Amino acid sequence: MTRIDFYLLADASDQQRYIFACRLAQKASKQGHRVYIHTESAEQSQLLDELLWSFSPTSFVPHTAVAEECKNNPVYINHSGDPLDIHDVLINLSSKTPDCFARFERFAELLNQDNSVKEAGRERFKFYKSRGYPLHTHKM
């Protein structure tokens, strides 16, 4: 069963949420996991694509936003579709639950202190809890 981790960030900044997603993707990929970052939109996917190159001054995270290249990269970013060959880690930056979430071993929900992000996260938490998923909360 998918393990779901809620990461509660201390501020309301979208930028810090995106940087945390990059750090989490970097950590998971260094441990040999393949990662799917699910975003809200094409614009958010593009932003994450750029951040994964620049968020760390000493390294970058190999990644792609092109479905055809997803098999050759440890991190795949997209706002639609289903990366059928990735089953390890899903990082959700969308306000909705990705349809494919139950196929992953680990699922990370990143919430900040923005009221709309928190409220959408609470609804997703209730959804997962009602279906018996193991839930873990981490205050960052």
DSSP string, 60-72: ---EES-GGGGGG
Range of the domain at 44: 3-139
pTM above 0.75, yes or no: yes
Contact 127, 97 (CB under 8 A): yes
pLDDT for 73 equals: 87
pLDDT for 57 equals: 86
> Residue 121 sits in a domain of what CATH number?
3.40.50.10110
pLDDT for 7 equals: 98
Domain count along the chain = 1
Helix (H, G, I), strand (E, B) or coil at 26: helix
pLDDT for 94 equals: 94
pLDDT for 48 equals: 95
pLDDT for 22 equals: 96
Burial class of residue 38, CB neighbours in 10 A (0-12, 13-18, 19+)? buried
pLDDT < 70 positions in the chain: 81
Nearest to 25 by CA among 60, 80, 75: 75
pLDDT for 136 equals: 98
